[in-house]
Amino acid sequence: MENTVLSIEGLCIDARAPILQDISLAVRAGEIFGVIGESGAGKSTLAMAMVGLLRAGCRRVAGKVTLSGQSLFDLSQPQLEQVRRRKVSYVAQSAAAAFNPFYRLGDQVTELAALELGTPAAERRKMAADLFRELQLPNPETFGARYPHQVSGGQLQRAMIAMALINNPDLIIFDEPTTALDVTTQLEVMRLIRKIVTARGCGAIYISHDLAVVAQLADRLMVLRHGKVIETGATRTLMETPQQDYTRALVANKTTTSPAVQARTAQPIIALRDFAAGYGGVSLVQDISLDLSAGHITCLVGESGSGKTTLARAIAGLVDVHGGTATFQGKPLVPRLEDRPRDARRRMQYIHQLPDLALNPRQTVREAIGRPLAFFAGVTGAAAEARLRQLMRDVELPEEFLDRYPGSLSGGQKQRICIARALAADPEVLICDEVTSALDPLVEESVIQLLLRLMQQRPLTLLFITHNLGLTRRFAHEVAVMQAGRIVEFAPAETIFAAPREAYTRTLLDATPVMERGWLEARL
């Protein structure tokens, strides 16, 4: 095809084991080609191969990568570098890590023009200002004078897209460019990406693990798993008639619904009134009034920095309480964790976001789960062993894992171990801080299903912190929406999703990508 900017034919890359096997694709000018896959699928290796890079230890076994008519792996190093400078750009996931904190944004964005063409400073400033305007950054004339830490995450991500446009590339590779962003910022960046590709007529690769995002942006899609292509096709065809089981599982409408659990008591298990908390003298959350109904799932949603985690940590006793009242089963909740009686600590368990950090790498699973048993209930020996095996069955892991160290478990398995450790204390309230956000979509789904099953088996109340509104919709009984340290809306889930009262709630809901066709177009 004449307007093909990138074609890959039969690409195989090995390290110790095969990483990519027989990958073929073609990207035309003016189209966005989506690559979707879970962690370890080979997405990043593929992205690097597109610019002729192989990571240390990787070897190209077969195949060809042709970019703008040149076969990358046949070029000499200087020729390859020239192609990279002139024909292709790369937008990385973390803009904060990609910018050098010591240089001004404008200089970094136009660095390539200075190096490649020797463009004088005044002209570069104008180029930068034009790009910043195109990307709808505030005050485009002066934006370039700022340093990376002086702008927001979304602005930094847009500045990186500006940098990618400086060489007017034939192809832009977007490697999870919105994964670290809030939904509202993500929507802005998605809109811009769509606009730029259309306006400039360049080709684009969009790599992500979030199907809803890719489905909105990409014209065609490739599903990658374990280094192999599962399925390729037009986005619409793939979404509506997936051919493979794996794709079907990804696309399938999530059917989770919250368990029909009635509140067991009329009283809320945890009640906050005018609650405020923070660090030092600064209150990060304030005016919080919130009731957690026993046996219910209450989701705490909001963008990063809205105070979700601070509020949850304050309830757990990890943050200084500055005012208001808090009760736990009708009795006052002691603010400081260290002052709480052991039984109060037992009844409320906290599960962290990153299981990698929450499990001591030098304790076996048996030690990790066994400790709360011994500590809270004094269960040891044969009785403990029976409980441990039961807990492993409860979280659907094989009993052999008891003797393993966390290092040999997958992310999803580790999070299950953390859940088992919390259950070992026989708690009444589980505080889950973004417990699934580090997991791949299908693994996330299985952990959610597990939590739901556990709630049917025992009297548990869940305070579930998340930024994933899609998940909240299927899962929550009540939803509290947080913004700037306050709860702006607290209502049953049906009410929030059907008739949100607050403008901010509506904005959040509106910005959450869904898989349905035409969603992004309606928001351009």
Query: Considering beta carbons, is residue 251 or 318 the nearer one to another protein?
Result: 318
371 interacts with another protein by CB under 8 A: yes
**Nearest distance, CB of residue 311 and another protein, angstroms:** 16
**Nearest distance, CB of residue 357 and another protein, angstroms:** 4
421 interacts with another protein by CB under 8 A: yes
What b/e sequence results for 128-140 when a residue is b if at least 16 CB atoms lie within 10 Å of its CB, and e otherwise? bbebbebbebeeb
In angstroms, the CA 424 to CA 421 distance is: 5
**Nearest distance, CB of residue 98 and another protein, angstroms:** 25
Q: How far is CA 480 from CA 144, 270, 290, 327, 462, in A?
A: 38, 14, 8, 18, 13
**Nearest distance, CB of residue 338 and another protein, angstroms:** 7
415 interacts with another protein by CB under 8 A: no
Dihedral (Cα; 8, 10, 15, 17), 10-degree rounding: 140
Q: What is the DSSP letter of 404?
A: S
| Segment contacting another protein by CB under 8 A, of 126-134, 284-292, 299-307, 340-348 | 340-348
**Nearest distance, CB of residue 424 and another protein, angstroms:** 10
Looking at 342, 381, 400, 522, which residue binds another protein (CB under 8 A)?
342
In angstroms, the CA 194 to CA 192 distance is: 5
**Residues 439-478: x where in contact with another protein by CB under 8 A, - otherwise, as a string:** ----------------------------------------
Distance, CA of 121 to chain centre: 38
Token pair 């007017």 is at which residue?
168
Query: Considering beta carbons, is residue 340 or 477 the nearer one to another protein?
Result: 340
376 interacts with another protein by CB under 8 A: yes
Query: Considering beta carbons, is residue 251 or 377 the nearer one to another protein?
Result: 377
358 interacts with another protein by CB under 8 A: yes
What are the tokens at 172? 């832009």
- Count of Cβ atoms closer than 10 Å to residue 251 Cβ: 16
Query: Considering beta carbons, is residue 429 or 493 the nearer one to another protein?
Result: 429
**Nearest distance, CB of residue 333 and another protein, angstroms:** 14
Looking at 56, 362, 457, 524, which residue binds another protein (CB under 8 A)?
362
What are the tokens at 189? 């960046």
Could you say which residues in the range 204-233 bind another protein, by CB under 8 A? none
16 interacts with another protein by CB under 8 A: no
360 interacts with another protein by CB under 8 A: yes
Residue at 491: amino acid letter: A
In 235-381, the DSSP E strands lie at 268-279, 282-293, 297-302, 320-328, 331-332, 348-351
In angstroms, the CA 279 to CA 487 distance is: 19
**Residues 391-410: x where in contact with another protein by CB under 8 A, - otherwise, as a string:** ----------------xx--
Query: Considering beta carbons, is residue 375 or 519 the nearer one to another protein?
Result: 375
**Nearest distance, CB of residue 407 and another protein, angstroms:** 4
What b/e sequence results for 49-80 when a residue is b if at least 16 CB atoms lie within 10 Å of its CB, and e otherwise? bbbbeeeeebebeebebbbbeeebeebeeeeb
- Binding residues for another protein, rule CB under 8 A, total 27
Q: Is 253 exposed, middle or buried (0-12, 13-18, 19+ CB in 10 A)?
A: exposed
Query: Considering beta carbons, is residue 330 or 407 the nearer one to another protein?
Result: 407
Looking at 357, 383, 386, 503, which residue binds another protein (CB under 8 A)?
357
Q: What is the DSSP letter of 193?
A: H
In angstroms, the CA 454 to CA 462 distance is: 11
**Nearest distance, CB of residue 342 and another protein, angstroms:** 6
**Nearest distance, CB of residue 395 and another protein, angstroms:** 16
Query: Considering beta carbons, is residue 65 or 462 the nearer one to another protein?
Result: 462
Indicate left, alpha or beta for 484 from its phi (over 0: left) and psi (-120 to 50: alpha).
left
Find the helix or strand (DSSP H, E) in which 265 lies: none
Dihedral (Cα; 174, 473, 518, 303), 10-degree rounding: -40
Backbone phi, psi, residue 245, to 5°:
-60, -45
352 interacts with another protein by CB under 8 A: yes
| Segment contacting another protein by CB under 8 A, of 168-176, 243-251, 344-352, 515-523 | 344-352
Query: Considering beta carbons, is residue 73 or 405 the nearer one to another protein?
Result: 405
331 interacts with another protein by CB under 8 A: no
Q: What is the DSSP letter of 261?
A: P
CB 519 within 8 A of CB 235: no
- Count of Cβ atoms closer than 10 Å to residue 119 Cβ: 17
Looking at 338, 382, 400, 518, which residue binds another protein (CB under 8 A)?
338
Could you say which residues in the range 310-329 bind another protein, by CB under 8 A? 316-318
Bridge partner list, 203? 171
257 interacts with another protein by CB under 8 A: no
Looking at 73, 147, 246, 375, which residue binds another protein (CB under 8 A)?
375
Looking at 372, 411, 485, 513, which residue binds another protein (CB under 8 A)?
372
Query: Considering beta carbons, is residue 149 or 362 the nearer one to another protein?
Result: 362
40 interacts with another protein by CB under 8 A: no
Query: Considering beta carbons, is residue 246 or 376 the nearer one to another protein?
Result: 376
What are the tokens at 213? 């995002």
* Contact set with another protein (CB under 8 A): 316-318, 337-338, 340, 342, 345, 349-350, 352, 354, 357-363, 371-372, 375-376, 407-408, 421, 425
